[in-house]
């Protein structure tokens, strides 16, 4: 997708009448390290913004950034979306929850496959068929990230966001004496030249290695690495995966995660991930290939991908008038590794929160307190329980082959399957039946006893897992 022809915009001097509009274009001389000061054309911004709309810079054009940009533009915010690689793709399994299709108006032609069968293989290759409890019409949509991301960016553009193909380099905050009134200066490179954009609000949606997060000292956090190969199979083998996805667990595949075979339009994505052993990721990729075996034999590797993914939310996700969303904020779930929906959802929630505050206060500036109250608090209230629950599941079941065997055994239970699908498809913690939940608690303890690891877990933690 070509960049919108607005490669360089700066806030024009405020004056009577059309202050701030139209925006002036100012050419910055090409030099290795251009020196930019807070003189004209970077005037102080009125806290009331009476004569111009709020301006936002969104860094990163994946599901989080594109969804944020769309929400901002729809709300009347002057929005610039900076994406370093509009034609690129991210290694990703590509599964999204069913609710995302309607909630984000995802067209049917973007979906490569609709998975109705899911098989989970234990370390000893015991299999649980994880699809028999699906209701009519339920399925797991599978798509390619480059297709989804491009669609979301185009839609944000159609709503009024300006797409800039550029690499974000740094963020200069306002001076302490004028923190509320001055803009942030967003530095980026585009077309081989350094550029600067002045913005009232900045949203960091630039992934696990977020430069925006570093700019605001968002704090350390653990990362995993995801590695996958896209493999084109002969038609007879590809037919097997028409509506089938597979997951493999075991110390040969990953010491703390799982391996996958997910179907795409004309190929399968075969991959794995780990937090504990980045240096051994190719060994674990060889492990998943060996486990899948002849089902992918003779296939052609058409692409190899690797990318970091966050393991938990960052300590600081809002600072000043800067907010983090998606992977930059750490919104990837433990146990499942799901991130697409939460990226898009967090971006939209953040964008809508900014619009809500800006319109609600009569066009005034959006503050850190506003972002914390309207975005961060609402996000945590809705999703923090789910993140804690999935973190507990990973610690219980992914730490040893015995735990993985117990997990696969439990996955064969119809009640487990139904509760899993209710939570995954519709992104709400399923309430469940208390009596069935009590029975499941007994089955879980039994499976862990057989696995000889239950003694290391307190009863209170087991109760948390069930309720």
Residue 81 sits in the same domain as residue 165: yes
Residue 129 sits in the same domain as residue 243: yes
Residue 266's CATH number: 3.30.9.10
Residue 191 sits in the same domain as residue 204: yes
Please list, in sequence order, all residues whose beta carbon lies within 8 angstroms of the beta carbon of residue 32, skipping any fewer than 6 positions away: none
Residue 150 sits in the same domain as residue 278: no
Give the span between the Cα atoms of 98 and 101, in whole angstroms.
Answer: 6
Give the span between the Cα atoms of 222 and 315, in whole angstroms.
Answer: 11
The residue from 310, 327, 351 where one domain ends is 310
Q: What is the pLDDT of residue 439?
A: 54
Residue 450 sits in the same domain as residue 337: no
* Domain presence at residue 368: yes
Q: What is the largest CA-CA distance in the chain?
A: 78
Which residue's structure tokens are 């309720």? 467
Q: What is the pLDDT of residue 462?
A: 46
What are the φ/ψ torsions at residue 224 (nearest 5 degrees)?
Answer: -105, 165
Q: Which of 9, 436, 416, 396 is closest to 188 using CA atoms?
A: 9
Give the span between the Cα atoms of 352 and 74, in whole angstroms.
Answer: 9
Residue 156 sits in the same domain as residue 213: yes
Contact 310, 333 (CB under 8 A): no
Q: Report how far apart, in Å, the C-alpha atoms of 24 and of each of 9, 31, 421 are.
A: 7, 21, 52
Q: What is the pLDDT of residue 437?
A: 53
| Domains: count for the chain | 3
Residue 233 sits in the same domain as residue 260: yes
The residue from 310, 325, 342 where one domain ends is 310
CA 47 to chain centre: 32
Residue 198 sits in the same domain as residue 293: no
Tokens of residue 62, six digits: 């994946």
Give the span between the Cα atoms of 204 and 211, in whole angstroms.
Answer: 8
Tokens of residue 194, six digits: 């350094």
- Look at the chain and count its residues: 467
Q: Are strands 244-248 and 259-263 parallel, antiparallel or unpaired?
A: antiparallel
Q: Report how far apart, in Å, the C-alpha atoms of 435 and of each of 389, 449, 467 are.
A: 20, 21, 12
Which residue's structure tokens are 């003779």? 298
Give the span between the Cα atoms of 261 and 251, in whole angstroms.
Answer: 17
The residue from 310, 340, 363 where one domain ends is 310
Q: Which of 172, 157, 191 is closest to 8 using CA atoms?
A: 191
Q: What is the pLDDT of residue 454?
A: 43
* Domain presence at residue 17: no
* Domain presence at residue 8: no
Q: With H, G, I as helix, E, B as strand and everything else as coil, classify residue 426.
A: helix
Tokens of residue 422, six digits: 């209710």
**Residue 361 belongs to domain spanning:** 55-88+146-220+313-382
Residue 336 sits in the same domain as residue 266: no
**For residue 348, how many C-alpha atoms fall within 13 Å in the half-sphere facing its CB?**
13
Please list, in sequence order, all residues whose beta carbon lies within 8 angstroms of the beta carbon of residue 214, skipping any fewer than 6 positions away: none
* Domain presence at residue 2: no
Residue 116 sits in the same domain as residue 250: yes
Residue 262 sits in the same domain as residue 299: yes
* Domain presence at residue 173: yes
Give the DSSP H/E element, type plus range, for residue 454: none
Q: What is the pLDDT of residue 150?
A: 95
Residue 320's CATH number: 3.50.50.60
Tokens of residue 33, six digits: 């390290």
Residue 200 sits in the same domain as residue 226: no
Give the span between the Cα atoms of 422 and 262, in whole angstroms.
Answer: 21
Give the DSSP H/E element, type plus range, for residue 224: strand 223-232
Tokens of residue 147, six digits: 């297709």
DSSP per residue over 110-177, as a string? G-SEEE-EEEEE-TT--EEETTTTPPTT--EEE--HHHHHHHHHHHHHHTTPEEEE-EEEEEEPPPGG
Which residue's structure tokens are 């997060």? 213
Give the span between the Cα atoms of 365 and 217, in whole angstroms.
Answer: 23
* Domain presence at residue 15: no
Low-confidence ranges of the chain (pLDDT < 70): 1-51, 89-91, 429-467
**What radius of gyration do the chain's Cα atoms show?**
24
End-to-end, the C-alpha distance of the chain in Å comes to 46
* Domain presence at residue 341: yes
* Domain presence at residue 178: yes
């Amino acid at each position: 997708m070509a960049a919108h022809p607005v490669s360089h915009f700066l806030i024009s001097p405020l004056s009577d009448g059309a202050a701030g509009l139209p925006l002036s274009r100012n050419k910055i001389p090409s030099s290795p390290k251009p020196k930019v000061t807070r003189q004209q054309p970077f005037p102080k911004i009125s806290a009331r913004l009476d004569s111009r709309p709020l301006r936002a810079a969104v860094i990163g054009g994946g599901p989080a950034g594109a969804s944020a940009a769309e929400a901002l533009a729809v709300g009347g915010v002057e929005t610039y979306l900076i994406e370093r690689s509009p034609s690129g793709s991210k290694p990703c399994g590509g599964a999204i929850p069913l609710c995302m299709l309607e909630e984000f108006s995802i067209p049917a032609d973007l979906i490569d496959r609709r998975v109705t069968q899911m098989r989970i293989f234990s370390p000893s290759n015991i299999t649980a068929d994880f699809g028999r409890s699906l209701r009519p019409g339920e399925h797991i949509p599978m798509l390619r990230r480059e297709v989804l991301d491009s669609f979301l960016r185009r839609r944000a553009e159609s709503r009024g966001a300006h797409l800039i193909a550029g690499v974000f380099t740094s963020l200069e905050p306002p001076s302490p004496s004028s923190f509320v009134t001055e803009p942030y200066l967003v530095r980026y490179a585009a077309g081989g030249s350094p550029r600067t954009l002045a913005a009232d609000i900045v949203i960091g949606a630039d992934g696990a290695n977020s430069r925006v997060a570093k700019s605001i000292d968002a704090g350390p956090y653990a990362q995993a690495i995801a590695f996958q190969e896209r493999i084109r199979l002969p038609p007879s083998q590809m037919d097997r995966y028409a509506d089938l996805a597979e997951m493999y667990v075991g110390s040969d595949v990953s010491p703390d995660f799982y391996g996958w075979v997910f179907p795409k339009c004309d190929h399968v994505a075969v991959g794995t991930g780990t937090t504990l052993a980045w240096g051994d990721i190719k060994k674990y990729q060889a492990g998943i290939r060996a486990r899948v075996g002849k089902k992918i034999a003779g296939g052609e590797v058409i692409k190899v991908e690797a990318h970091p993914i966050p393991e938990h939310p960052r300590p600081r996700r809002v600072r000043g008038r800067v907010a983090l969303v998606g992977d930059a904020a750490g919104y990837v779930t433990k146990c499942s590794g799901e991130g697409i929906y939460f990226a898009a959802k967090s971006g939209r929630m953040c964008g809508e929160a900014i619009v809500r505050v800006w319109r609600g206060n009569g066009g005034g500036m959006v503050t850190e307190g506003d972002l914390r109250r309207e975005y961060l608090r609402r996000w945590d209230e809705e999703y923090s329980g789910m993140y804690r629950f999935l973190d507990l599941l990973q610690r219980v079941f992914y730490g040893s082959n015995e735990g993985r065997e117990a997990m696969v055994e439990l996955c064969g239970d119809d009640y487990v399957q139904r509760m899993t699908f209710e939570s995954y498809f519709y992104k709400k913690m399923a309430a469940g039946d208390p009596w069935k939940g009590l029975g499941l608690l007994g089955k879980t303890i039994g499976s862990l006893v057989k696995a000889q690891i239950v003694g290391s877990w307190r009863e209170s933690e087991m109760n948390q897992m069930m309720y």
